[in-house]
């Protein structure tokens, strides 16, 4: 490889074969007073330009921690990354200096959060907060940056953007606030956008609008989108591939349609079964029994075995590997073929 000039656009560095983003055997631990909480235990996935990867899991499954590790915004300490790599266009982000990393964060990879009211700074106008991206990363003056902020607010369909650029976050509705977050995240045309539960705090109708907006922006810009959610309904229409996380690991990964049609892991099977269906009206709703394991005290063998209806002796002793069951379908289950066959 030729020597890397710092000013070189990272986009030109990507080799034909290197994925846009590659998370490779990532581990994240939190060193707490009660012990070491193993939040992420060997997560690997990749993302291509223009692709939408949904990361699905319940609270505490490690999906948000994964996102924050990619962004490099984990609080260290208490967080520690003992192993693994996060390669952006072939370059490992985890070994970069903080300064280099900041040049990627925002301009190349950006992120939107669940609750836009708390994620936006309450004491600065929204336009100021969007314009800050241009002022800090592009060295733009106030007026030009403000004009860019208005352009972006129009782009995310905020009515009367020009008049509202000086308003504060609390003066917007939830949906409009999330649009502001999106405007801020896409300000510098990042190649990857990580959306951490972007619609969880919103009404159902507004959820659909926000998802449509994200999809539209993605189609226009060709960026890769990582959609973190616990909502199977949101995922189905939008995502290309799904990675299901449980206890800090990916337990199943597949294209959307095959996964919905026929899951290859008991956990995914349980998740799909818990979606309320109209024909079930009057019957009891299905729920996966038990609770996710404590990150401080993981069970032996398969981490899902205490809650799994298919668990056998081998599940309580041997931890299964994530393996390709059929081409393009990965599952971390000793009996993946049987689950897939049902």
Partner 1 sequence: MGKYIVRRLLQMIPVALGATFLIYAMVFSLPGDPTTGKCGERNCPPEFVAAFNEKYNLDDPLLVQYGKYMGNVLQGDLGEAQSGLPVSEELSERYVITFKLGGMALAIEAVIGILAGIVAGLRKGGFLDALVLVSTLFVISIPVFVIGNVSQLFFGIELGWFPVTVPFEPSLFDLFMPAMVLASASVAYLARLMRSSMAENLRSDYVRTANAKGLGPSRVVGVHTLRNSMIPVVTFLGYDFGALLGGAIITEGIFNIYGVGGYIFQGISDQDGIAVVSSVTVLVVIYLLMNLLADVLYGVLDPRISHD
Q: Residue 121 interacts with partner 1 (CB under 8 A)? A: yes
Q: Quick check: helix, strand or coil at residue 242?
A: strand
Cβ closer to partner 1: 53 or 195? 195
Cβ closer to partner 1: 127 or 263? 127
Q: Which residues within the stretch 83-112 sit at the binding site for partner 1 (CB under 8 A)?
A: 102-107, 110-111
Can you tell me which of 8, 32, 95, 118 binds partner 1, judged by CB under 8 A?
A: 118
The interface region with partner 1, picked from 113-121, 210-218, 228-236, 262-270 by CB under 8 A, is 113-121
- Give the relative orientation of helices 174-185 and 142-155 as an angle to the nearest 10 degrees: 120
180 and 152 in contact (C-beta within 8 Å)?
Answer: no
Cβ closer to partner 1: 120 or 325? 120
Please, how many CA atoms are within 13 Å of residue 112, restricted to the half-sphere of its CB? 30
11 and 89 in contact (C-beta within 8 Å)?
Answer: yes
Q: Residue 206 interacts with partner 1 (CB under 8 A)? A: no
Q: Residue 260 interacts with partner 1 (CB under 8 A)? A: no
Count of residues in contact with partner 1, rule CB under 8 A: 27
Q: Quick check: helix, strand or coil at residue 130?
A: helix
Measured CA to CA in angstroms, residue 332 lies from 27, 28, 264, 265, 270 at distances of 17, 19, 9, 7, 15
Smallest CA-to-CA distance from 295 within 65, 60, 81 is with: 60
Q: Quick check: helix, strand or coil at residue 192?
A: strand
Q: How far is the CB of 147 from partner 1 (least distance, A)?
A: 19
Q: Residue 73 interacts with partner 1 (CB under 8 A)? A: yes
Here's the x/- map for partner 1, 269-308, by CB under 8 A: it reads as ----------------------------------------
Q: What angle do CA 184, 186, 164 make, to 5 degrees?
A: 40
Can you tell me which of 46, 83, 137, 316 binds partner 1, judged by CB under 8 A?
A: 137
Give the footprint of partner 1 on this chain (CB under 8 A): 71, 73, 102-107, 110-111, 113, 115, 118-124, 132-133, 136-137, 168, 170, 181, 184
């Amino acid at each position: 490889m030729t020597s890397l000039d710092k000013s070189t656009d990272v986009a030109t560095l990507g080799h034909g074969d290197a994925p846009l983003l590659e998370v490779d055997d990532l581990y994240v631990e939190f060193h707490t007073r009660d012990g070491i909480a193993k939040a992420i235990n060997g997560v690997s996935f990749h993302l291509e330009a223009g692709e939408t990867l949904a990361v699905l899991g319940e609270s505490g499954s490690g999906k948000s921690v994964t996102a924050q590790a990619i962004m490099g915004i984990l609080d260290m300490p208490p967080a520690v990354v003992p192993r693994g790599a996060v390669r952006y266009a072939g370059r490992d982000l985890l070994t970069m200096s903080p300064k280099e990393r900041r040049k990627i964060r925002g301009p190349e990879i950006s992120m939107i959060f669940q609750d836009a009211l708390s994620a936006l700074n309450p004491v600065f106008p929204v336009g100021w907060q969007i314009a800050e991206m241009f002022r800090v990363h592009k060295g733009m003056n106030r007026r030009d940056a403000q004009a860019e902020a208005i352009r972006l607010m129009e782009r995310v369909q905020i009515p009367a953007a020009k008049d509202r650029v000086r308003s504060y976050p609390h003066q917007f509705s939830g949906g409009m606030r999330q649009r502001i977050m999106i405007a801020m995240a896409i300000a510098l045309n990042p190649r990857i956008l990580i959306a951490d539960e972007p619609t969880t705090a919103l009404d159902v109708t507004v959820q659909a609008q926000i998802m449509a907006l994200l999809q539209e922006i993605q189609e226009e810009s060709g960026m890769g989108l990582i959609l973190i959610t616990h909502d199977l309904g949101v995922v189905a229409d939008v995502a290309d591939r799904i990675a299901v996380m449980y206890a800090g690991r990916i337990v199943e990964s597949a294209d959307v349609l095959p996964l919905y049609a026929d899951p290859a892991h008991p956990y995914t099977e349980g998740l799909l079964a818990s979606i309320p269906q109209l024909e079930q009206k009057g019957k009891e709703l299905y729920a996966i029994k038990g609770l996710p394991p404590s990150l401080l005290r993981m069970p032996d063998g398969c981490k899902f075995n205490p809650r799994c209806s298919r668990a056998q002796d081998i599940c309580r002793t041997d931890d299964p590997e994530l393996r390709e069951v059929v081409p393009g379908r990965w599952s971390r289950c000793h009996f993946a073929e049987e689950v897939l066959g049902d």
